[in-house]
């Protein structure tokens, strides 16, 4: 519990600085590209081509996750990338796989109570803006720890 408290406290204090805010803004901008590319692909598949929502979402996610990885790894968190590419990719895939399950449960749950997947996509994105930032910042692309 203390680590969670520490992460949130550190994140909030970092975001209050110009450098921290600028970094989060880059993350948000990269995430917006991820979100909108996925949303458009989903809308075409689900709304225009009439695919089952789950198929449309899987295809949209596969393409947008790939875009997002390159944006986050090589632009947003490039100064924090000290692992091998393979290790970053493994961590990214693990976190996105967990997120994948949570995301689909959110959208499925909302759909079962009558909320369209188009709206569910936005609701889920709000949750994942915070979720992904924290995981990327502290685990997928962490700052290199200084050794004494």
Q: What one-character DSSP code corresponds to residue 138?
A: I
Q: What is the pLDDT of residues 79-106, one digit of tens each?
A: 876 788 899 999 999 999 999 899 989 9
* Whether pLDDT at 147 is above 50: no
* Cα angle value 74/26/69 (rounded, 5°): 35
pTM of the model: 0.80
17 torsion bin: left (phi>0), alpha (psi -120 to 50), beta (else): beta
Q: What is the pLDDT of residues 3-61, one digit of tens each?
A: 767 676 777 777 778 887 888 889 989 999 998 999 999 999 999 999 998 899 899 98
Q: Which long-range contacts (CB under 8 A, 24 or more apart) does 127-135 make?
A: 127/102, 128/99, 128/103, 129/28, 129/31, 131/99, 131/102, 132/31, 132/95, 132/99, 133/11, 133/24, 133/27, 134/7, 134/11, 135/95
**pLDDT score at 121:** 84
Contact criterion met (CB below 8 Å) for 27 and 136? yes
* Whether pLDDT at 138 is above 90: no
Say which residue the tokens 């502290």 belong to.
Answer: 138
Q: Residue 9 class from Cβ within 10 Å (0-12 exposed, 13-18 middle, 19+ buried)?
A: exposed
**pLDDT score at 104:** 87
């Amino acid at each position: 519990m203390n680590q969670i408290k520490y992460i949130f406290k550190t994140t909030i204090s970092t975001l209050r600085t110009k450098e921290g805010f600028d970094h989060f803004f880059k993350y948000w901008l990269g995430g917006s590209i991820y979100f909108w590319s996925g949303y458009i692909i989903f809308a075409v598949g689900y709304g225009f081509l009439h695919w089952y929502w789950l198929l449309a979402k899987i295809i949209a996610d596969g393409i947008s996750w790939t875009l997002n990885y390159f944006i986050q790894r090589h632009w947003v968190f490039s100064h924090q990338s000290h692992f091998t590419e393979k290790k970053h990719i493994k961590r990214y895939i693990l976190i996105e796989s967990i997120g994948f399950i949570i995301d689909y449960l959110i959208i499925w749950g909302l759909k079962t109570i009558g909320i369209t997947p188009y709206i569910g996509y936005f609701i889920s994105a709000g949750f994942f803006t915070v979720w992904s930032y924290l995981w990327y910042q502290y685990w997928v692309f962490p700052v290199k720890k200084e050794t004494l």
